[in-house]
Amino acid sequence: MKKITKQSLVTFFLLSPGLLAIGCLFFYPLFIIIKNSLAFEEEHIFYHYIKFLSSSNGLYVIGLTCLLAFGATLLSICLSILLILILRRKPIGHSFFKTLILAPITIPGLICALGLLLFWDKNGWMNLVIQGIINRPIQVNYTIPGLLIFYTWLFFPYTFLITFSQVESLDKSIEEAAEVVGANRMQVLRYILLPLAKPGLLAGSIITFMLCFGAFSVPLICGGDYRPLSVSIYTTSAIYNRWDEGSAMAVIMALIQIFFLISYIRIMKRTR
Amino acid sequence: MKLGKILYTLLLYIITFVIFTTFNGCGSKEKELELTFIDTNSGANFQWFIKTKVIPEAEKTLNIKIHYVVSSGPEIIQRIKTWKKGKGDIHILLIKPKDLVDMLSSDIPLETLYPDKVDRIPNITKCLEDYLTSVLGNNLNGRAALFWRSQMNGICNGSLIPNPPSSWKELYERRGEWTGHIGMVRPDAKSSGGRRFVYCFLHAFGIDFSIPFEELKNTPEWDDVWDKFKELYETMHKPLASEPPILFNQFKKEDVWISVYATDYTLWSRDKGMLPETTKAFTLNDGVTAGADAYLVIPSFILEKKRQAAYDFVNFLLSDEIQLQLISTMWQYPGTEIWDKVPEHVWENIPRWEDIKNTRIRITNNEAFNFIREHTMEVIK
């Protein structure tokens, strides 16, 4: 067994304010949420969990949340690859364009949500343009495709940024070598670029996925009748004042996210 | 630098910060005429009004410093409960009737403003005595002053609906005229506007909310009225607004022409350009719920000098000048009876008080109200 030295005691003492802060600010609220979610008065301690998971609405909400998160993550990956292929050739104004891509990160979610709602409204700018082509407005607001577009716009910069930095650090001579031996553009992309950019794509996309999974402002404002887990938790806790049920839903949400995070780490390990 | 040195420096910073903040708080002695005014009632519109209009004017007129703090009723009640005599640090509260009832039932000592302090607060005599002696059926005995009376009303775009309905029944019967253009906030939203809408509708069609909910929900009338509400819902603009700003936006885009919502917040938002200029309020004579009336209270356990300044501030808030601003710029019905002084243009925007005062509904059946909040979206699907 390792001996406790004076040095390690001093280190522990110096670290103790930080540990205390983490304990108070993170573990204590977490403990409270878990405690609230347990039904000590009911016949089963996991009553709220069972109630939510066995209800058709509960499964629908989880399904909807997963659909939105997976769909938006997939769209983010596609959009990021497309933009990276364009921007890595450094066209005129690429720096400005890169900065523009970061805009959704810097604007508060609520403002983004209201802006998107106005932009995609039947009298909004997008529909004014589209109506010139197809003569009728398209319904984007309050629909699942609309939510997917909004999520993608809001969260794809995370996938883009991490993947882009990964691609930029690649040695250009590898691509050149592939071209010398006769590979065309698509083959370079398929067999060289994408495999090398995969760790960046995975890392970026998991951040996007997590953010999509927990998105609140956008579905609250723009979701209409489509209300994923975060909005359901808010409604149950803050509107219905059923904090116990809301806490159980929050724990379920956290567990699902942890499950996806562990899966991601395993995939990352295999990739390496 | 070694890790140990970095941590040591960090610790020094923390200790310095703690010492500085601790002694900074103790060192600065509060000036004598500084009041803390806690507001647990106002929405965004009135927070803005009080902060930018009322407080600067009061500070100038009364020569006192007022700290305006927005908080929540239950939290403040818990704090006041722990006070000892002379140690209170909240000098005036602006609270909802329900919180006032909670304060009274918690035996929190409050100053008796009426009739004891009429000499210090002469403007309190302009409040109707009924409002000073009882609140939500509980004895108040003059321990609060009425600052404003809040009311929901019908809201419509006057250019699209020149002759709005005069009752819920008429709204229901004429719903076909406005198919797809009747707006409502979701009943499960943070704002209570949507659930109040449903509550009023049920009330107007004969639901007796004095019956206990368990009994009420099994009556045939309950099902019949919900069927009627479903018919009204069919003609509503969908999806329902998730929060009031979305409803206002629907008005702005002329997707929604008519709704029922808080008069003051809607018309204030209209003045800010969030709704069409032609938006106005109208009354529904078979009853619309009262909003949260605002009461002013002074806790007893505060210093004598602060108490005297608090009386002056209450008198200032009940002055004609402030009360007229409430109705003419914020579209809120005043707490005092100053109807003869209200400019005529106000009545072109909101219904006259005498037209609505007898139709105000109080939410008395909380179980039914909770049912509306949690199950309306399921019932109407």
| Same domain membership, residue B119 and residue B158 | no
How many distinct structural domains can be found in chain B? 2
- Looking at residue B78, its pLDDT comes to 87
> Does B186 lie in the same domain as B224?
yes
> In this complex, which of B11, B190, B253 lies closest to A239 when CB atoms are compared?
B190
How many residues can be counted in chain B? 381
- Regarding whether B180 and B128 lie in a shared domain, the answer is no
Structural domain of residue B366, as residue ranges? 152-289+352-379
8 Å CB contact between B263 and B151:
yes
Confidence band for A6, pLDDT divided at 50, 70 and 90 = confident
The rounded distance, in Å, linking the Cα atoms of B3 and B10 is: 11
Give the burial class of A20: count Cβ atoms within 10 A of its Cβ; 0-12 exposed, 13-18 middle, 19 or more buried: exposed
| Percentage with pLDDT > 90 across chain A | 43
CA dist., res. B55 & res. B57, Å (int): 5
Residue B68 located in a structural domain: yes
Give the pair of three-digit tokens for residue B291.
């909003």
Same domain, B241 and B297: no
CA atoms of A157 and A30, how far apart (whole Å): 29
Determine, yes or no, domain membership for B28: no
Q: CB–CB of B10 and A14 under 8 A?
A: yes
Cα separation, B95 vs B72, whole angstroms: 9
Asked if A11 lies within 8 A of B7 by C-beta distance, the reply is yes
Query: Do B104 and B157 lie in a common domain?
Result: no
Tell me: pLDDT of A133 over 90. no
Of the candidates B332, B175, B152, B150, the one whose C-alpha atom is nearest the C-alpha of residue B247 is: B152
Q: Which of B4, B14, B377 sits opposite A17 (nearest CB)?
A: B14
Domain count, chain A: 1
Provide the mean pLDDT of chain A: 89
Phi, psi of B365, rounded to the nearest 5 degrees = -105, 90
Q: In this predicted model, what pLDDT tens digit does every residue of A50-105 receive, in sequence order?
A: 999 999 899 999 999 999 999 999 999 999 999 998 998 888 888 888 888 888 88
Instruction: Spell out the per-residue pLDDT of chain B, length 381, in tens.
Output: 566 676 666 776 677 666 666 555 444 444 558 999 999 999 889 999 999 999 999 999 999 999 999 998 888 998 898 888 778 889 999 999 999 999 999 999 999 999 999 999 999 999 999 999 999 889 999 999 999 999 999 999 999 999 999 999 999 999 999 999 999 999 999 899 999 999 999 999 999 999 999 999 999 999 999 999 999 999 999 999 999 999 999 999 999 999 999 999 999 999 999 999 999 999 999 999 998 899 999 999 899 999 999 999 999 999 999 999 999 999 999 999 999 999 999 999 999 999 999 889 999 899 999 999 999 999 988
Pick from B5, B9, B188, B242 the residue to mutate for testing the A interface (most A CBs within 10 Å): B242
What is the dihedral sign for C-alpha B103, B106, B110, B113? positive
Whether the Cβ atoms of residue B293 and residue B146 lie closer than 8 Å to each other? yes
d(CA A189, CA B179) in angstroms, rounded, equals 54
CA distance A85 to A197: 12
Q: Are B158 and B91 contained in the same domain? A: no
DSSP letter assigned to residue B344: G
| Three-state SS letters, B14-61 | HHHHHHHHHHHHHHCCCCCCEEEEEECCCCHHHHHHHHHHHHHHHHHH
Residues B267 and B369 in one domain: yes
Whole-number pLDDT of residue B198: 97
Residue A12 within any structural domain of the chain: no
Closest-CA residue of A relative to B249 is: A118
Model ipTM value: 0.71
Q: How far is CA B349 from CA A135, B49, B155, B272, B355, in A?
A: 39, 19, 10, 15, 14
Pair (B254, B283) in one structural domain: yes
Q: Is residue B11 part of a domain?
A: no
Whether residue A155 lies inside any domain: the answer is yes
Residue B361: predicted pLDDT: 92
d(CA B349, CA A228): 39
- CA distance linking residue B99 with residue B86, whole number of Å: 23
Nearest to B126 by CA among B297, B300, B369, B317: B317
Query: At a CB cut-off of 8 Å and minimum separation 6, what does A217 contact?
Result: A108, A109, A110, A112, A113
Question: Among partner residues A17, A238, A239, which is closest to B11 by beta-carbon distance?
Answer: A17
Question: What is the domain range of residue A183?
Answer: 41-271
The candidate with the shortest Cα–Cα distance to B38, out of B95, B109, B107, is B95
A190 neighbors A175 (Cβ within 8 angstroms): no
Q: What is the mean pLDDT of residues A19-45?
A: 89
Q: For residue B282, is it within any domain?
A: yes
Question: In whole angstroms, what is the distance from residue A170 CA to residue A79 CA?
Answer: 20
Is A68 a member of any domain?
Answer: yes
Asked whether the beta carbons of B96 and B73 are under 8 A apart, the reply is yes
- Cross-chain Cβ contact A14/B7 below 8 Å: yes
Q: With 80 as the cut, is the pLDDT of residue A271 above it? A: no
Residue count of chain A, please give it: 272
Those residues with Cβ within 8 angstroms of residue B250's Cβ, 6 or more apart along the chain or in another chain:
B183, B237, B241, B256
Residue (of B37, B41, B50) closest to B330 by Cα position: B50
The CATH number covering residue A112 comes to 1.10.3720.10
A14, A121, A221 ranked by CB distance to B8: nearest:
A14
- How many C-beta atoms surround the C-beta of residue B27 within 10 A? 7
| Domain co-membership, B139 together with B178 | no
**Residue among A211, A214, A212 at smallest CA distance from A229:** A214
Query: Which of A165-169, A213-217, B158-162 is the least confident region?
Result: A165-169
Average pLDDT over residues A20-30: 89
Residue A219: inside a domain: yes
- Residue B16 has a pLDDT of 67
Chain A residue closest to B195 (CA)?
A239
CB contact under 8 A, A118 and B249: yes
Domain identity same for B205 and B337: no
Whether A215 is in a domain gets the answer yes
Closest CA to A144 of A64, A66, A27, A80: A64
Mean pLDDT value of segment A37-58: 91
Would you give the end-to-end CA distance of chain A in angstroms? 34
Reported as half-sphere exposure (CB side, CA atoms, 13 A), residue A263 has a value of: 10
B273's CB contacts (< 8 A; 6+ apart) are none
Type of residue found at A4:
I
Burial of A270 (C-beta count, 10 Å sphere; 0-12/13-18/19+):
exposed
Is A2 a member of any domain?
no
> Which residue carries 């995939």 as its tokens?
A267
Residues of B near A (CB-CB distance < 8 A)? 3-4, 7-8, 10-11, 14, 188-190, 238-239, 242-243, 245-246, 249, 253, 370, 373-374, 377
Chain A contact set for B373 (CB, 8 A)? 239-240
Cβ distance of B189 and A118 shorter than 8 Å: no
* Residues B367, B373: Cα–Cα separation, whole Å: 10
| pLDDT score at A272 | 64
B279 and B215 in a single domain? The answer is yes
Query: Which of B7, B11, B190 has its CB closest to that of A238?
Result: B190
Distance of CA A15 to the CA centre of its chain: 32
Q: Which of A117, A123, A240 is opposite residue B374, by nearest beta carbon?
A: A240
User: Do the domain assignments include residue B26?
Assistant: no
Asked whether residue B6 is assigned to any structural domain, the reply reads no
- Whether B259 maps to a domain, the answer reads yes
List all residues 6 or more positions away from B122 whose beta carbon is below 8 Å from its beta carbon.
B315
User: CATH code at B241?
Assistant: 3.40.190.10
Interface of A with B (CB under 8 A): 7, 10-11, 14-15, 17, 114, 117-118, 121, 123, 142, 220-221, 223-225, 235, 238-240
The span from the CA of B139 to the CA of B327, in Å, is: 28
Residues B235 and B322 in one domain: no
**B228's tokens:** 């009627």
CB contact under 8 A, A14 and B14: no
Model's pTM, two decimal places?
0.80
